[in-house]
Amino acid sequence: MSENNNTTGSVGIVAPQTAHFNTLLTLKSGAVLPELDLVYETYGTLNADKSNAVLICHALSGTHHVAGKYTENDKYPGWWDNLVGPNKPLDTNKFFVIGLNNLGGCHGSTGPVSINPETNQQWGSQFPIVTVEDWVKSQALLADYLGIEQLAAVIGGSLGGMQALQWTIAYPERVRHALVIASAPNLTAQNIAFNEVARQAIITDPEFHGGDYYAHNVLPRRGLRIARMLGHITYLSDDAMGAKFGRKLKGDIKYSFDAEFEMESYLRYQGDKFAGEFDANTYLRMTRALDYYDPALNFDGDLSAALNKVTAKFLVVSFTSDWRFSPARSREIVKALLDNERTVSYAEVTAAHGHDAFLMPDAHYHNILRAYLNSIEVGIHHAK
């Protein structure tokens, strides 16, 4: 990559790597994983004093492929490419950025599709339930592996924001800044309800086979497809859907149950696409991790007490039209930090896109992240 390049650019062609940990990992549930692989990508250069590392935590369906492309011919870059790159808000000229696939995922990290070394079969239904706490624990192993004692920042949206928050609770000395975006300190009953409908769609698919569908050479596509369609509805706002699709029809009314409205055909497309590339067992576990996360649970519901040991500085961001992770939920995090007199800024972004807004390249939103990330001090970078 050329030096002194001031234009906003891509991180270019990237390649994933795998970190193998030949160590027992005890999960929050008590289950023990005999070994694990974590697939990750990095962008930018780790500086001499290793003070410029930023970890990106993904949400429900994210992966380690955050930015760049694998080949020039890739149709799409990584899922947060609009944020990460040279002179982008998360500037890879300044930061060493790490994306990983979480434990239990289906993109290379140890998960239900992996081989259980004790049975030499795919884990399937036997893969344990993983939690946000477990993910953060495994992410800390990855940081160790990369020789990073302290992260400059952990950043995540939605479920990723919960991981960023958990980092500051579990490893206060190992993270200087947390960027918690479109997130919440726990899920509301309504959110758990949506997750349950999604799980029931998967579990009641005749081809689910209790989670051991790999052995039957089938996939519970119908269930996963419906789960994704439901999710998509909740990630968008009514206004955004109205603006994008409205009541537009694909043609004349046919008095049928075909996808006649554009809204329907969009949902079907998204559902089919997802069902073809994501693992149902992983989806079940990701939604369960969301349900379970509740750092205040052991503090009689007192989030301020739960955040008492936190030392990181925070940026909390919410979006006005996000009804799944509403601004009010972000303000709970802000209040708990204020109660502890922690350094925190909070932005409530006026946005029409609902929960999905956190992935959009809205100019003001990106200016917020850029301003905050600019303020993070790191040592001498690009040391030769």
- Given a contact cutoff of 8 angstroms between Cβ atoms, the answer to whether 143 and 151 are in contact is yes
Of 57-65, 252-260, 288-296, 370-378, the window that binds another protein (rule: CB under 8 A) is: 370-378
Q: Record the tokens describing residue 221, joined without a space.
A: 């596509």
| Binds another protein (CB under 8 A): choice among 309, 375, 379, 380 | 375
* Residue 344 interacting with another protein (CB under 8 A): yes
The dihedral region occupied by 115, where left means phi > 0, alpha psi between -120 and 50, and beta the remainder, is: beta
The strand pair at 25-26 and 32-33 is best described as antiparallel
Query: Is residue 361 close enough to count as binding another protein by CB under 8 A?
Result: no
64, 65, 353, 355: the catalytic one is 355
Query: What one-character-per-residue DSSP string does 56-70 give?
Result: EEP-TT--S--SSBS
Provide the token pair at 74: 């890739």
Nearer to another protein, 189 or 363 (CB): 363
Minimal distance, residue 306 CB to another protein, in Å: 16
244 binds another protein per the rule CB under 8 A: no
- Dihedral pair phi/psi, residue 27, rounded to 5°: -90, 170
Query: Does residue 265 bind another protein (CB under 8 A)?
Result: no
- Which listed residue (367, 379, 380, 382) binds another protein by CB under 8 A? 367
Question: According to the binding rule CB under 8 A, does residue 298 interact with another protein?
Answer: no
Closest CB to another protein among 188 and 340? 340
Among 322, 330, 353, 362, the one annotated catalytic: 322
8 Å CB contact between 212 and 224: no
From the CB of 299, what's the least distance to another protein, in Å?
16
Which structure tokens are listed for 113?
């599709």
Contacts of 64 (CB under 8 A, 6+ apart): 16, 39, 40, 41, 58, 99, 100, 101, 107, 108, 109
Active site residue 322: yes
Instruction: Name which of residues 301 to 340 contact another protein (CB under 8 A).
Output: 331, 334-335, 338-339
Give the active site residues: 158, 322, 355
Binding site residues, another protein, CB under 8 A: 331, 334-335, 338-339, 341, 343-348, 350, 364, 367-368, 371-372, 374-375
